[in-house]
Amino acid sequence: KNEVEQSPQNLTAQEGEFITINCSYSVGISALHWLQQHPGGGIVSLFMLSSGKKKHGRLIATINIQEKHSSLHITASHPRDSAVYICAVAFSGGSNYKLTFGKGTLLTVNP
């Protein structure tokens, strides 16, 4: 069964802390996405990865294909980073590009 597991479900941090959110998946993939959903509801794509590491500002995403695992890191966290972070995976082998989503991680960064 094609599954995506995220941890932790909830994460509370103090401003300035280093944050790590984890995502594991069950079988081979063609790509993994990290999405951000703010309390207002809009969803923004942060990264798309198929190997290695990507960095954008204070955000870093890594993926280990052999271990079927990805992490999203936030350095020097800020209250504006408070949001739900969602991992989504396109499993390989399918004829169409379809995302399967994790249940999300609710991050709260306190000042």
Residue ranges in contact with another protein by CB under 8 A: 30-31, 33, 35, 37, 41-45, 48, 50, 84, 86, 88, 90, 96-101, 103-104
Q: Which two tokens stand for residue 70?
A: 């990805």
Least gap, CB of 63 to another protein (angstroms): 13
Q: What's the rounded Cα separation, in Å, for the pair 77 and 14? A: 8
Burial status of residue 61 (CB atoms within 10 A of its CB: 0-12, 13-18, 19 or more): buried
* Smallest separation, CB 93 to another protein (Å): 13
Comparison of 17 and 31: residue with beta carbon closer to another protein = 31
Least Å from the CB of residue 95 to another protein: 8
Q: Give min distance, CB of 16 to another protein, in A.
A: 27
Q: How far is CA 30 from CA 7, 21, 40, 99, 101, in A?
A: 21, 21, 30, 10, 14
Indicate the residue among 35 and 74 with the shorter CB distance to another protein: 35
Among 89, 92, 73, CA closest to 81: 73
- State the number of CA atoms in the 13 A half-sphere of 53 facing the CB: 4
13/86 with CB nearer another protein: 86
Q: Is 31 or 65 the residue whose CB approaches another protein more closely?
A: 31
